[in-house]
Amino acid sequence: MNVISAGGGWGAPIVETANPFESAGVDRRKLDRDDFMRLFITQLQHQDPMKPMDSYEMASQLAQFSSMEATMQMSDNMEKLLDYQLSQNNLQLLTLIGKNIETAGNEIGVADGQVAATNFVLEAAAPFSMVYIYNSAGHLVRTLDLGYRPVGQHSLSWDGLDNNGTQVNDGLYRYRVDALTADGSQVGVELRSSGRVTGLAFDSGLATITISGHVQKAVSEITRVH
């Protein structure tokens, strides 16, 4: 039961009535304009006929309802505008299909036997540098001795063969670069992942791209488009 004042003042009699929201199963944390109007109508229905609601009080409540309605309409329009903007952004992302891009990461995609070439950056010259390539299960499939490499960007071109000279299966691979100075100190390495965009997916408003058929990346991770 809900207690509602039947008049405009403190001396008005009290009328007990059923909560208008309980029968409708309304979540009090999510009231909309219809719920507020139902509350207002219930208040009118149970007022004391000998002491009806003051006209100024009624006008004030109606003004508040009008203001609330305008605010809710503005909120609805903003949501529609945001949805439209999101759809336009998603359409623009379709132009990435077929483009070569670069992202941060150490992934390499192999699709139809073709390996996507990528790059890495050395923070200092490295007389000794090795590249280790692993499959999706974490097993080492290829070791490349790159020897001396100067400071800066370097291309990583893998022929897609394992250490036994056998062509690897299509899929996702990852690489690691170990670079050492002459005194054996570790050289900092910035790993990158490159390839051609072959797919685009949307989930809960977030866009995910597929590179070289197997590498999944968020659009926000793209650093360069060729």
**How far apart (Å, rounded) are the C-alpha atoms in residues 102 and 182?**
31
The residue from 49, 68, 93 where one domain ends is 93
Range of the domain at 69: 2-93
Of the candidate ranges 13-27, 112-126, 145-159, the one whose mean pLDDT is the lowest = 13-27
Judgement on whether residues 47 and 137 belong to the same structural domain of the protein:
no
The residue from 93, 108, 131 where one domain ends is 93
Judgement on whether residues 60 and 107 belong to the same structural domain of the protein:
no
Asked if pLDDT for residue 10 goes beyond 50, the answer is no
**How far apart (Å, rounded) are the C-alpha atoms in residues 163 and 156?**
16
- pTM comes to 0.58
Q: How confident is the model at residue 225 (pLDDT cuts 50, 70, 90)?
A: confident
Judgement on whether residues 150 and 209 belong to the same structural domain of the protein:
yes
**How far apart (Å, rounded) are the C-alpha atoms in residues 210 and 226?**
16
Q: How confident is the model at residue 206 (pLDDT cuts 50, 70, 90)?
A: confident
Judgement on whether residues 75 and 168 belong to the same structural domain of the protein:
no
Q: What's residue 145's pLDDT?
A: 95
Pairing of strands 118-122, 189-203: antiparallel
Q: How confident is the model at residue 2 (pLDDT cuts 50, 70, 90)?
A: very low
Asked if pLDDT for residue 9 goes beyond 90, the answer is no
The residue from 73, 93, 113 where one domain ends is 93
Q: What's residue 186's pLDDT?
A: 94
Asked if pLDDT for residue 8 goes beyond 60, the answer is no
Max Cα separation, the chain? 100
Q: Of the candidates 199, 191, 201, which has an alpha carbon nearest to the alpha carbon of residue 223?
A: 191
Q: What share of the chain is helix, strand, coil (3-state, %, to 5)?
A: 25, 40, 35
Judgement on whether residues 126 and 167 belong to the same structural domain of the protein:
yes
User: Residue 103 maps to which CATH number?
Assistant: 2.60.40.4070
Tokens of 102: 């670069």
Asked if pLDDT for residue 4 goes beyond 50, the answer is no
